[in-house]
Structure 1
Amino acid sequence: MANKLNYIDLFAGAGGLSEGFKRAGLNPIAHVEIDKAAAYTLKTRTAYYYLKENNLYDKYVEYLKGEINRKELYELIPTELLDSVIDLGISNENNEVIFDKINRSLGNKEVDLIIGGPPCQAYSLVGRARSENNMKSDSRNYLYVQYAAYLEKYKPKMFVFENVLGLRSAGKGVYLNNMERLFNKKGYSIHIYTVKAENFGVLQKRRRLIIIGWKQDFVPNLPNLDSYNLGLTAPISDLFSDLPFLRAGEGKDKYTNYTAETNDYLGKSYIRNGIDILTQHIARPHSEQDKEIYRVAVEKWNTNKERLNYNDLAENLKTHNNITSFTDRFKVVAEDLNTSHTVVAHISKDGHYYIHPDIKQNRSISVREAARLQSFPDDFYFEGVKEGANRTAAFKQIGNAVPPLMAKKIADLLKTQLKL
């Protein structure tokens, strides 16, 4: 792949950012991710691309149907490709090992781009609010130092660093200022964007910082990501319209069928991309009390377009003592809006903030519905450490991910600069 631009993905998660860059035609050299479940997801996606590019896509379909297991799938893939997923934490202790593994995958090629962003909990406003010391002692505050070490090692022409808006205010701006100084010291200038996922066609109100850095020996013509607008939108009802009816606790990991044809949005967003095999449409079980609260929340929205305030619930439905904060802890993913609220990793703990809009189904959204809100294609399978249905691990990976549709558009905009 000498004619392709090569990138390394650090703190890769499930690979949402990488999915966009790969789809834009760039070549991944390595993915580095400490979470074991996410690393398996990256390996499975690596398998998907290898099989698709080598006219063996039917083997991946067999996996999605449950006809072969994960071990059998991986046996079809060259070992060096699977080894390009490095499931180690980026740290002073591990970096030499990671460098060695990356170098084996890299061979005599050059790294054109580094992408990724450290875990965001230490910078997020919610994470700091829940911490006793405002997360000042959290080691994740300083993972940007490790990121800079990879810039120094591989000297890419550009890098893309994604993180939460709270990075601007974390440490009263000290972390971001120190980050910029360190990147400058390593020979890179940066520009900081605030992007809106819905402007890139994602049906979700998601605000993130995108830092684009470039070597100081050339001046790129940077895209204006702050004001970019793809012009692709649809109601949430279009996002869910072809998925089978589920009640709480129902669903199949592998596999089930769609109940309707695709639509314009599902096609243009790459979510429905040609196969008719639906996986991970699984809904978590709920208590009768929670289901009653969900009915109240959906009826309130459907009747008056009002959100449920926890304090307005009948006393017999209240179980939390905290009545002053997070009073919107039960929230409907409204099907008549063009965007949902932000999907975050807390969805792995409960689904109260992501109630399905159909009162007859009376549940929180499924794994596949959450993945669609993040713009993951339906053939993207989220793994757990153990093979099989891993609802919690999948929700966590989805909530932490960068929307692939947004990532793809950013990659498209940067490709011409990387080829200068």
Structure 2
Amino acid sequence: MNVIDLFAGAGGLSEGFRQEGFNVLAHVEMDIHASTTLKTREAYYYLKETNKIDIYKQYLRKEIDRDELYNHVPDYILDRVINKEVSDKTNPQIFKQIDEIVGDQHIDLIIGGPPCQAYSVAGRSRDPHGMKDDPRNYLYRQYIDFLRRYQPSYFVFENVIGLLSAGNGEIFKSIQNEMDSAGYDMDYRILNSNDFGVVQQRRRIIIIGWKKGIEFTYPEFTAPEANYTIRDLFQDLPSIKAGEEKKPGNGYKESANDFLGKTRIKPVDWDVLTQHIARPHRELDLEIYRYCVDIWNRERRKVRYNELPERLITHKNTNTFLDRFNVIPYEGISNTVVAHIAKDGHYYIHPDIEQNRSISVREAARIQSFPDDYYFETSRTSAFKQIGNAVPPLMARKIAEKIKSTLLN
């Protein structure tokens, strides 16, 4: 079950398919930090499959550097990651690299989602021209170019729900028409990651396409029976304060609960906690965090910016953007983790008033359902951005499971 992963990001979508046994032959990603994350993940899988996982753990514990880690991995494995922008200019070179990897193998599936800023409602509201002139509106055509060249049996195309309304709906109509002319039927749903067991509200459009002539119906997904919470998700992570990092190693404070094991967020026998690092904050922000958590604990309500004590209000605008600070509740689920988390953590305040900070990189990764053995290169800021842009692997895995059952029948 061979896969090409386009606009791969940090690899959340491909991770879910990989966990279901799909063979990801190539990832195409323009961002150098995300591409390095993908290479490190390829190294993880190779070393795990060759019983050399201790080398990967040495890297996580900073006992060896990245070059030394990669020296233990054959070039053909690392070369699966193609760090190039998808465009008319670069596609011939990308095709050539993929052709060398694929050889005479059939591609069963293409997965991926073009960058969503041009489709997002927030992105359109910030741009004076409503993103009408943004070339990213038409990256779906690049995706279709790959469909035409590799003729996969199926494809999965993920994006923000603003895709449906972008260009007054004309862009989505164009996608449907061009997919049709490329030889594919398609259907879509707006899916919420929480319905797949992810402890986060995250609504996205998932388009599934299949070659004309294949009998396929968009799958029905059943929500998990149990409703898990942030408390279940953070249960075994040690306390840290703002600006602190738990030194990479066996730093878990207790064994994992059933939820962490069942979802593979904490893989069986995994013992190296990494990237449990919290950003530093100004004293003013820390005071706001304490105030917001205190109000949440006592009154179970969120604090609007204009409700803060006067000494804590420094922005002149007290009429709009009043939900600037948000506590992630222990007894509930998280709001959507987005790439803006790389800029500040105000919308992701940790529920423990004693820790008094925004969430760590590892906590954000867990909210997105990435396993603890997943390492995000190359800095705290780039890690947050990659996590915020990703498809939750747990959601991707459930989609992969349905497609696999169709492919194998």
Residue in 1 that maps onto 2:234: 240
Residue in structure 1 matching 2:175, options 173, 179, 184: 179
Residue in 2 that maps onto 1:391: 380
Q: Does 1:333 align with 2:328?
A: yes
Q: How far is 1:68 from its partner?
A: 1.3
SS of 2:205's equivalent in the other structure is strand
In 1, distance between residues paired with 2:292 and 2:130?
32
C-alpha distance after superposition, 1:215-268 (max 9, x if no partner): 01212143124xx31334312111111111111000146335101111011111
Aligned ranges 1:187-226 → 2 under 5 Å: 187-225=183-221
Q: What letter is aligned with 1:345? A: A
In 1, distance between residues paired with 2:364 and 2:327?
13
Q: How far is 1:59 from its partner?
A: 1.2
In 1, distance between residues paired with 2:193 and 2:93?
35
Residue in 1 that maps onto 2:364: 370
Residue in 2 that maps onto 1:229: 223
Residue in 2 that maps onto 1:322: 317
In 2, distance between residues paired with 1:205 and 1:214?
28
Residue in 2 that maps onto 1:276: 271
Q: How far is 1:64 from its partner?
A: 1.4
Residues 232 and 6 (structure 1), Cα distance of their counterparts in 2 relative to 1, 3 Å cut:
farther
Asked whether the 8 Å contact 2:188–2:218 carries over to 1, the reply is: no
C-alpha distance after superposition, 1:93-135 (max 9, x if no partner): 0000000110111011110000000011111111111111111
In 1, distance between residues paired with 2:226 and 2:190?
19
SS of 1:282's equivalent in the other structure is coil
Residue in structure 1 matching 2:398, options 403, 409, 412: 409
Asked whether the 8 Å contact 1:247–1:363 carries over to 2, the reply is: yes
Q: Does 1:313 align with 2:308?
A: yes
Deviant stretches of 4+, over 6 Å: none
SS of 1:203's equivalent in the other structure is coil
Residue in 2 that maps onto 1:382: 376
Q: Does 1:360 align with 2:354?
A: yes
Q: Does 1:25 align with 2:13?
A: no
Residue in 2 that maps onto 1:387: none
Asked whether the 8 Å contact 2:19–2:397 carries over to 1, the reply is: yes
Q: What letter is aligned with 2:270? A: I
C-alpha distance after superposition, 1:17-36 (max 9, x if no partner): 00000000000110000000
Asked whether the 8 Å contact 2:249–2:271 carries over to 1, the reply is: no
In 2, distance between residues paired with 1:221 and 1:127?
33
Residue in structure 2 matching 1:85, options 81, 87, 93: 81
Q: Percent identity?
A: 55
In 1, distance between residues paired with 2:43 and 2:274?
17
Asked whether the 8 Å contact 1:200–1:232 carries over to 2, the reply is: no
Residue in 2 that maps onto 1:127: 123
TM-score, normalization by structure 1: 0.95
In 1, distance between residues paired with 2:139 and 2:408?
29
TM-score, normalization by structure 2: 0.98
Aligned ranges 1:116-155 → 2 under 5 Å: 116-155=112-151
C-alpha distance after superposition, 1:369-399 (max 9, x if no partner): 0000000000000001xxxxx1100000000
Residue in 2 that maps onto 1:342: 336
In 1, distance between residues paired with 2:104 and 2:77?
16
Asked whether the 8 Å contact 1:308–1:330 carries over to 2, the reply is: yes
Alignment RMSD: 1.1
In 2, distance between residues paired with 1:145 and 1:235?
39
In 2, distance between residues paired with 1:322 and 1:115?
42
| Contiguous gaps of at least 5 residues in structure 1 | 385-389
Q: How far is 1:320 from its partner?
A: 2.0
Q: How far is 1:67 from its partner?
A: 1.4
In 2, distance between residues paired with 1:125 and 1:364?
26
In 2, distance between residues paired with 1:243 and 1:282?
11
